[in-house]
Amino acid sequence: MSAVARRHPHPCQVTAVELNEERAADLPDDWEVICGNYLDWAAAAQGERRFDLIISNPPFTRWMDFIRASLPLLEHRGILLALGFSNILGSQKRAAWWKENRPQQIWQSSRRPQFRPDSQNGDPRETIWVQWGPSQSKHTKFDWLDL
């Protein structure tokens, strides 16, 4: 994330929550960097902080927890964009939640990302970007993301 930020200067205030101290130290100096557990931080921030845009690459074992913690932090017209594995969409346990919290858009990645630099091949799981946005619809748009 810090490499992207350095290549693309931004005119906005950025708050980053990073659990890993080394990665947190590598983030740009003009960012507000919180080194700690996102779920704890989000719980404390509810009612105190609101954001126009939240971009998240949550740990996939806690993906739903991160989304549930992030949605209340959005401004009225805010956007949440989260990277996930496509199998998060399945399951009878999550079906009602998806219907109540219908995302605005889902993009299926056409390539498998490389999460580890020492890996020759991408991750074997299919990835998606899920966006919740300012306009709620009865239908979620679906598209493919060519990278």
What pLDDT, on the 0 to 100 scale, is given for residue 124? 73
Statement to judge: residues 101 and 63 lie in one domain? yes
Q: In the chain, how many domains are there? A: 2
Task: Give CA–CA dist 126/89, Å, rounded.
Answer: 12
pLDDT of residue 48: 94
Map residue 7 onto helix, strand or coil.
Answer: helix
Domain residue limits at 85 = 50-145
Q: Which of 6, 4, 2, 5 is closest to 20 using CA atoms? A: 2
- Scanning the chain, the segments in alpha helix (DSSP H) are 2-7, 21-25, 38-45, 63-70, 92-100
The predicted pLDDT at position 69 comes to 97
pTM of the model: 0.84
Q: Is residue 65 part of a domain?
A: yes
Mean pLDDT of the chain: 87
Residue-wise pLDDT tens digits, 9-49: 667 889 999 999 999 999 999 999 999 999 999 999 999 99
Q: What is the mean pLDDT of residues 78-86?
A: 94
